[in-house]
């Protein structure tokens, strides 16, 4: 079995659904407390609720900016991040300007990330979602290099929504390996998108991910505790 943190401390227990109710988010937080997940990841409007529920625990509150398209203006993403932080967010998962990257406009991509990094200061983690399903390997490498240069704490594979819309793949072991090669040990790699069982969880960890975003966290932990081995 891979060494390092306990599996539950690698998981962002996630509910970013448009129709998530207060009861759904309360359930998410209670499950996070029960299983000791590292974080919950929720939409900005639900940050304050989750921060209150998780106060005093070791589970952090993550939220998103520019989600899911990445097409918001940099100042809008920065404002969204800042307001979420005021309400208790401790981690921001921002989506890059995907179109700008595809255009080859690296300055725009960098400015986008920089605006959110500055809004977050030094205490709030910034995870940069590059949305791999739209990118060539060369573009994935470019996105990771920019994120690293602009002070990101993590690069992240996917929103979990783009791959369904594009017909591409969610998180893949090959993408995680590529991202880890680019960023080295300096920052984290978060795998998200289609991770629904223990085998896939361990595949991503072995590929180099040190954070996993999934809406199937409880089922994965039950598999692991029932003896599901890494494959």
Which residues are tagged catalytic?
93, 156, 190
d(CA 132, CA 155): 11
Using CA atoms, how far apart are residues 198 and 211, in angstroms rounded to an integer?
14
Q: How far apart are CA 179 and CA 194, in angstroms?
A: 18
CA 40 – CA 19 distance, rounded (Å)? 17
Q: Do 80 and 47 meet the contact criterion of CB atoms below 8 Å apart?
A: no
Asked whether the beta carbons of 71 and 97 are under 8 A apart, the reply is yes
Measured CA to CA in angstroms, residue 112 lies from 48, 92, 138, 196, 214 at distances of 25, 13, 20, 31, 25
Pairing of strands 91-95, 60-65: parallel
User: Quick one: DSSP state of residue 10?
Assistant: G
* Helices assigned H by DSSP within the chain: 22-35, 47-54, 74-86, 98-103, 106-120, 137-149, 162-166, 173-183, 198-207, 217-225
């Amino acid at each position: 079995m891979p060494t390092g943190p306990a599996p539950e401390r690698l998981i962002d227990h996630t509910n970013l659904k448009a129709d998530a109710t207060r009861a759904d988010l309360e359930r998410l937080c209670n499950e996070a407390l029960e299983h000791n997940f590292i974080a919950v990841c929720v939409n900005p409007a639900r940050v304050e609720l989750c921060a209150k529920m998780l106060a005093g625990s070791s589970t952090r509150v993550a939220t998103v900016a520019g989600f899911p398209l990445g097409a918001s203006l940099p100042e809008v993403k920065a404002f969204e991040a800042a307001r979420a932080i005021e309400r208790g967010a401790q981690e921001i998962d921002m989506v890059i300007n995907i179109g700008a990257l595809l255009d080859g406009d690296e300055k725009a991509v960098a400015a986008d990330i920089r605006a959110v990094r500055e809004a977050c200061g030094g205490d709030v983690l910034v995870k940069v979602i590059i949305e791999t399903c739209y990118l060539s390997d060369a573009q994935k490498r470019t996105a990771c290099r920019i994120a690293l240069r602009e002070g990101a704490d993590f690069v992240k594979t996917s929103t979990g929504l783009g791959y369904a819309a594009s017909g591409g793949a969610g998180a893949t072991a090959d993408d995680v390996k590529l991202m880890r090669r680019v960023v080295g040990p300096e920052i984290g790699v978060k795998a998200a998108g289609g991770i629904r069982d223990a085998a896939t969880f361990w595949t991503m960890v072995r590929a180099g991910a040190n954070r996993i975003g999934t809406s199937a966290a409880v089922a994965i932990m039950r598999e692991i505790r029932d003896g599901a081995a890494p494959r």
